[in-house]
Amino acid sequence: MNITWNEFSFFLTQLKNLPVSKNIELENGGFCVSTGCSMESWVFYPERIYNADVVETVTEFFKDEKISFMWPVYDGGEKFLEDSGLKYAGSLTGMIYDPENSASECEISKINFNFKDWARTAWCGFGGKEDEISEKYFELVEAFDKNPKFSLHLHKTENKFDGSFMLLDEPDSTGVYYFATVPEMRRRGIAFSMMKDICRLSRGKKIFLQSTPAGLPFYKKFGFKELCKIPVYSDSCDVF
**pLDDT given for residue 238 in this prediction:** 65
H/E stretch holding 55: helix 52-65
**pLDDT given for residue 211 in this prediction:** 95
The verdict on pTM exceeding 0.85 is: yes
Query: What letter does residue 200 receive in the DSSP assignment?
Result: H
The answer for 161, left when phi > 0, alpha when psi is -120 to 50, beta otherwise, is: beta
Residues facing residue 109 across a β-bridge: none
* pLDDT tens-place string over residues 130-164: 899 999 999 999 999 999 999 999 999 988 999 99
Greater confidence (34 vs 239) lies with 34
* Of 148, 137, 152, 157, nearest in space to 39 by CA: 137
